[in-house]
Amino acid sequence: EDQVTQSPEALRLQEGESSSLNCSYTVSGLRGLFWYRQDPGKGPEFLFTLYSAGEEKEKERLKATLTKKESFLHITAPKPEDSATYLCAGLSGSARQLTFGSGTQLTVLP
Amino acid sequence: ETGVTQTPRHLVMGMTNKKSLKCEQHLGHNAMYWYKQSAKKPLELMFVYSLEERVENNSVPSRFSPECPNSSHLFLHLHTLQPEDSALYLCASSQDGQGNEQFFGPGTRLTVL
């Protein structure tokens, strides 16, 4: 059974304090690892797709990386507007559906 | 309108009511999805439609009934729900039905009394 685990569940950072969020996965024949951002009361917003180990993608203060067992979302010098819940999801080679983790709730304090 | 829209945004219903959730995508995609999001739990896929044909049904109770009249519109018909069905219901769309990049609507917050 495919499984995606995110840690920590919640993270509080001071503005400018860089950190990383973890997404561990056991997804058979991974075809893609997705990161989403979700603000309260809104639907998830697509951020990145990673397809193979060693791949990296960046967007503003966010950088996503992928290994054979996990993905990291690095946040460099975060700002309060980066506060949100970050979700990762894996797409297996056999299924046509995403398996989501429970998310990491990030709070950046000014 | 752009992206994926959902109506209503909030819905309160009794256990004996019948209501429908509506989703519309303006992205020219061929696949649409219904998800359930409960507090502190991962998103749960409920239904997938690809080119208006239902391709996945993840053992969802029959009190939830989807309808996809065309590739731009998706409905979720609700009847005789239970309080544990209270959740955020999210609609998403993607270019194909293979699960790739999905774009989500804002969701309908459902409360069952």
- Tens of pLDDT along B7-26? 999 999 988 889 999 999 99
* CA angle (A50 as vertex; B56, A24 as ends), nearest 5: 80
Pairing state of beta strands A70-75 and A19-26? Answer: antiparallel
User: Residue B54 in contact with residue B105, Cβ under 8 Å?
Assistant: no
* pLDDT at position B52 over 90: no
Compute the distance between CA of residue A73 and CA of residue A65 in angstroms, rounded to an integer.
Answer: 7
Q: Which residues of B touch A97 (CB under 8 A)?
A: 45, 48, 56, 58, 99
- The beta-carbon neighbor of A44 closest among B40, B55, B104 is B104
* pLDDT at position B59 over 90: no
Whole-number pLDDT of residue B1: 64
* pLDDT at position A95 over 80: no
Mean pLDDT, range A56-61, rounded to an integer: 96
Q: Judge whether B56 is closer than 8 Å to chain A, CB to CB.
A: yes
The residue of chain B nearest to residue A105, with distances taken between CA atoms, is B40
Mutate to test the interface with A, among B100, B108, B109 (most CBs of A within 10 A): B100
Q: Which of residues 21-40 of B touch A (CB under 8 A)?
A: 40
Six-digit token pair at A89? 């999801």
User: Is the backbone of residue B59 left (phi > 0), alpha (psi -120 to 50) or beta?
Assistant: left
Q: Judge whether A1 is closer than 8 Å to chain B, CB to CB.
A: no
Q: How far is CA A54 from CA A34, A90, B64, in A?
A: 15, 16, 41
Q: Judge whether A4 is closer than 8 Å to chain B, CB to CB.
A: yes
- Which residues lie closer than 8 Å to A9 by C-beta, 6 or more apart? A102, A103, A104, A105
- The beta-carbon neighbor of A97 closest among B4, B40, B99 is B99
Report the number of secondary-structure helices (H) and strands (E) in chain A. Answer: 0, 11
Residue B88: CB atoms within 10 A of its CB come to 19
Q: Judge whether A45 is closer than 8 Å to chain B, CB to CB.
A: yes
Q: How far is CA B94 from CA A79, B27, B71, in A?
A: 30, 8, 11
- pLDDT band, very low/low/confident/very high, at A109 (cuts 50, 70, 90): very high
By mean pLDDT, which of A20-24, A94-98, B5-9 is the weakest?
A94-98
- Interface contact B107-A43, CB threshold 8 A: yes
User: Residue A92 in contact with residue A30, Cβ under 8 Å?
Assistant: yes
- Interface contact B102-A97, CB threshold 8 A: no
